[in-house]
Chain A
Amino acid sequence: MTAQTCNPAMMRQSDSSGDAKVGGRDGVRKTPWYKTRGFVESASSTGFLIPVLAVFVVLTLIPLIQTVYYSFTDYTGFNPNVNFVGFDNYRKVFTDPSLLVGLGFTILFALATTLITTIIAIPLAVLLNAKFYGRSFARSLFFFLGVPSLIVLGMVWSFILSPLKTGALNSVLVSMGLDSVPWLANETLARGCVIFVAIWAAVGWHATLYLAYLQAIPADLYEQAAVDGASGFQKFIHITLPQLIPGIVVSTFLLITNGLKVYDLPFGMTKGGPGYSTNTITQAIIVHGISQSQYGLGSALAVLFTLACLIVVLGQTALTSAISRRFA
């Protein structure tokens, strides 16, 4: 191999003096646009989008369009003959008390789990980033909490938080001479228990996420701060937290979206009870739309919920972008 053939600049020169300059209006033949390197590269790259696009169209876009269509009909799932009912299903959504309770709990759940998980996960990540004996074990332990399916966790916790005196937690309380607590039998306590278990399950996973971001913070920033006499708290506030902003954006985005679409955990723990107190919007969509053969109503609920999620997520993205710019 000669130096000439290895030089890209010379290769380009060779190309242009070969194919591209032969023929054409000015006597120079140009490479057809579809054979140019730029187009071929671009077409190949675009090709990689096809799988995602295909899945998006088949599994998201088409069902979304169908959902909007069904939301204006009385489709039951059984009978293919549907009637147009205008905004009747949307009117029902806003007048059904069980749906409004479900909406309230979903928002409470999403906000509480996002806020509290973030508040606990960041300090936990800082602790797990420090050097101590058994650090790897501790990291694995916290991460493991987020691995099992939430419906399985819900069923296990329903036994632990059983309101009976023989429930796992109540047995401990009773053995200590305390009264048993109606954990899942009381509306307020049941809501609190579901949120607690969700945080318990999520905090380790999100701490691991923050841990990855923590390890990317340059050590010299801390060294310089130490030279300037900064305390541990000051380092946390002025170095760690600003450097974690990208991580916070990702973590809170995941938490809020998972919180808004939650179904498995409350269903596994309480099936939405007592009454409708731990009912969520996703559960309502499934129950009304499928169990109760009211696809029209379930679809209207799904359309409204999709729009609400879009607004929340766009709002959150705008907020975190503003914060990111502030600390950039």
Chain B
Amino acid sequence: MKFSKTIIAAVAAAAMIVPLAACGSGTADSGKTTITYFSWNNENQVKPIIEAFEKANPDIKVDLSTAQGEAADYAQTLTTRAAGNQLPDVFHMSIETRNEVLDAGLAKDLTNEPFMDSIPDTNKDLYTRDGKVYGMSPTAWVGVIVYNKDLLKQVGYDSVPETIDEFCELGKKLQAAGITPYMDDPTVVSGSFQPMLGGYYAKQGIDTSEWPEMGEGGSFEKQWTPIIKEWQKLIDSGTMPKEVVGVNNDQIKQQFMTGQLAMFRSGPWDFPDLNSSGVDYATAPFPAVEGGEPYVGGGPDSPFAISSKIDGDKLKAAEKFLAFMNSEEGLKLEEKNIGQISVSSEYAADVAPQLQDIYDEYVTTGKYYWTNWSQNGNVMATEMTSQWQLLIQGSTDAASVAKHMDETWKANAK
């Protein structure tokens, strides 16, 4: 009896401890080099691309993991994996994690890799430090206003006006007709404010050294306050309802697809859903604020990076993977499955017809903007999102928002 008690205790101890040991276990596929890849996009989008790569490289296996959410979710998982010394062999270095990844020396120098030759300089600049490039971004993203042609026609419009005052006028007419005019996702950084800010910077010719997000002396209070005041017209005119604060992007898209919302901030990533809804839609740039010009949101997609901790066969396999992602076949698949727009000279983008005008007039001419924080991207993005929610609610004003942004910037200065 005494013996059996001891045995039971030992078995129980082993049963509790063995699963912990399993945390560090892994699997191996004999004869193949396995690389881990942490994708920015979801599994359904990426899997066909991985399958094509593995077919072209039968000696390489890609162990795929994905983040199912937004930029913050990706950053959160990447940070956790880096902290646990489990950095993927290939990962994406987002704007939010760029500084931390480069500071820690976690990304391999890609400057002289052959697959970097076809990447445009603008896409390299963001991920360059001390003359060395650490990220490969062969595609770009673009955020626009998607509008329901039939609903706009009901109030006498064929397209979206190009100034914010005219846009708000359209908003009032839609409200009078019982239609919700416009919404953008309030749980992330405002997708409408950013292009309005970019259009203002461009029209005014404000040097990047004056942009507060560059950390070279410009203040949010000075540069952002007038544009925030202009953006606030969307709320004051009722063009964007205050209730938008309590909804998420899925709910907004659903409103549009059921014909209850006339316009929302979106992009090519939503086109498959919108096409299936049967809504007759088109795209437009964001209207210009006073002193600005129409602009779209956008920038280089989060670049591929190779872990600086790998070498030998793994490194060769990772380099082959990046070369494939920047090949004609890879870029075509990324366009088809993820809706990404190639800016690489390896493949000329075949954009969706709904986006063609925007592509020709704005993307190819560089009239797109998104804030690239030079420090603490996630901190600033979180603060900005919260401040905008309060602004929409009417609990704060433009000056206070800009002041808070300045304070947060200074409090987290490095």
Interface residues of A (CB under 8 A from B): 40-41, 43-45, 47-48, 50-52, 54-55, 58-59, 76-80, 92, 95-96, 98, 158-159, 161-164, 166, 180, 182-187, 190, 270-276, 286-287, 290-295
In the A-B complex, the 6 residue pairs with the smallest Cβ-Cβ separation, listed nearest first, are A47-B9, A184-B246, A185-B246, A79-B104, A163-B243, A51-B16
**Which residues of B have CB within 8 Å of A275?**
386-387, 389-390, 393, 395
Query: 4 new A-B pairs (CB below 8 Å) besides A166-B255, A185-B244, A295-B83?
Result: A164-B180, A166-B260, A184-B246, A273-B389
7 sample A-B contacts, Cβ–Cβ < 8 Å, listed by A number: A43-B6, A44-B9, A48-B12, A54-B17, A55-B16, A77-B100, A184-B246
Complex contact A270–B246 (CB within 8 A): yes
Report the nearest B residue to A272, measured CB to CB.
Answer: B386
A44-B5, A47-B6, A182-B246 known; A76 and B104 CB under 8 Å? yes
Report the nearest A residue to B246, measured CB to CB.
Answer: A184
Complex contact A185–B393 (CB within 8 A): yes
Complex contact A51–B244 (CB within 8 A): no
**Which residues of B have CB within 8 Å of A76?**
79, 100, 103-104
Complex contact B247–A274 (CB within 8 A): no
Within 8 A of A (CB), among B197-250: 241-248
Complex contact B76–A286 (CB within 8 A): yes
The minimal Cβ–Cβ distance linking A69 to chain B, given in whole angstroms, is 13
**Which residues of B have CB within 8 Å of A98?**
383, 386
Complex contact A51–B390 (CB within 8 A): no
Report the nearest B residue to A190, measured CB to CB.
Answer: B246
The minimal Cβ–Cβ distance linking B259 to chain A, given in whole angstroms, is 11
The minimal Cβ–Cβ distance linking B322 to chain A, given in whole angstroms, is 21
- Kindly state whether residue B187 has any CB partner on chain A within 8 Å: yes
Complex: A270 Cα to B376 Cα, angstroms: 24
Report the nearest A residue to B379, measured CB to CB.
Answer: A292
Complex contact B6–A77 (CB within 8 A): no
**Which residues of B have CB within 8 Å of A276?**
386
Complex: A320 Cα to B297 Cα, angstroms: 58
Complex contact B20–A58 (CB within 8 A): yes
Complex contact A77–B79 (CB within 8 A): yes
Complex contact B243–A78 (CB within 8 A): no
**Which residues of B have CB within 8 Å of A45?**
5
- Kindly state whether residue B22 has any CB partner on chain A within 8 Å: no
- Kindly state whether residue B282 has any CB partner on chain A within 8 Å: no
**Which residues of B have CB within 8 Å of A47?**
5-6, 9-10, 13
Report the nearest B residue to A95, measured CB to CB.
Answer: B411
For B336-350 the 0/1 string (1 means CB < 8 A from A) is 000000000000000
Complex: A55 Cα to B20 Cα, angstroms: 9
Complex: A161 Cα to B246 Cα, angstroms: 9
Complex: A276 Cα to B186 Cα, angstroms: 13
Complex contact A293–B378 (CB within 8 A): yes
The minimal Cβ–Cβ distance linking B306 to chain A, given in whole angstroms, is 16
